[in-house]
A and B are shown apart, each in its own frame.
Chain A
């Protein structure tokens, strides 16, 4: 099993990238390359990569720039555990973007994939708008439908003489209070998500 992630760069100078990555990874490219599936040199030689690193159980190789795109190869020792690969991709992705951020190199449109045999798994970054949309998708029924349904039910009851006007007004008040409570709750959830999760830059995989 192998993984790959790619990032588009606003500034792309191969010499600068090679220098900053090798500085951070302390020239571990040779070690990572020799442990990788490419190590026989038949397909890719060490010169096809600008940097790399190796940690217990996984390795990262950064290909030389492909136009404005930085492509990174991830390999894990454990070949059948998707969880290990997901963790390795997110760890190296975190390191790569922090090196880019540190050197004020702007990046955008990150994507990742895990290739298990012939089947690819896609990984994407949950950005703030995506998170807010997901929260609304989960809650919109409660927020909109519950108070409307409650008022409608009370209205029907009064029309068919099941409730008197006072009870109807009470029910409407209750529905309004419930709606306000739900909106306050949602706002609180949004604030928590924005504060604690919006800055968490890691790939979510569709598996």
Chain B
């Protein structure tokens, strides 16, 4: 993965984590697995959880369609009340985008921190 993307992703995660923790009663956890990071946002009152997964396509420019395999695996481990968000700074091919929609995974391509925070707020209040 190019260093710039990694830096951008790390910076994004740090800012997102900070904004999600501010002024809310949510618990924000960072899950690091083999160098990759995901965020888990929990509302202790409702018990609702939102998983934010970060994936990159690197120089290929877009996520490979088979990314759906790991996302589906992760989704199947979640409770029906949980929500899985995918954040990427690469493109998402149309076929993958349609499959993500079918699985109920919300995908964001090159979003701003505010956009993701807004979606988390909306999902938590729903």
Contacts and interface: CB of A to CB of B under 8 A. Distances in A.
B79 interface: no
Contacts of B95: 48, 63, 66, 71
A2 B27 CA distance: 34
A4 B59 contact: no
Given A43-B99, A66-B94, A37 B69 contact: yes
A111 B90 CA distance: 15
Contacts, number: 67
Contact of B69 (A43, A63, A111, A122): A43
Contacts of A66: 93-95
B66 interface: yes
A73 B56 contact: no
Nearest to B60: A113
A120 B69 contact: no
Interface string B43-72: 000000000001111111100111111001
A4 B72 CA distance: 18
Interface in B1-24: 1
A104 interface: no
Nearest to B34: A117
Interface string A108-128: 000111010111111010000
Interface residues of B, number: 24
Contact of A73 (B59, B61, B65, B72): B65
A114 to B, nearest CB: 9
Contacts of A44: 68, 99
Do most interface residues of chain A lie in helix, strand or loop, or is the interface mixed? Answer: strand
A102 interface: no
Contacts of A38: 69
A3 B69 CA distance: 12
A140 to B, nearest CB: 25
B36 interface: yes
A72 to B, nearest CB: 10
Nearest to A123: B60
A122 B94 CA distance: 20
A118 B69 contact: no
A111 B95 CA distance: 18
A206 interface: yes
Contact of B66 (A111, A115, A119, A124): A115
A37 B66 CA distance: 9
Interface in B60-119: 60-61, 64-69, 72, 93-95, 99, 103
Given A119-B56, A120-B57, 4 more contacts: A63-B95, A67-B94, A111-B61, A117-B34
29 contacts: A2-B66, A2-B69, A3-B64, A4-B60, A4-B64, A37-B66, A42-B72, A44-B99, A63-B95, A66-B93, A71-B65, A111-B60, A111-B61, A113-B60, A115-B66, A118-B36, A118-B55, A118-B56, A119-B1, A119-B36, A119-B56, A119-B58, A120-B1, A120-B56, A120-B59, A120-B60, A120-B64, A121-B58, A122-B58
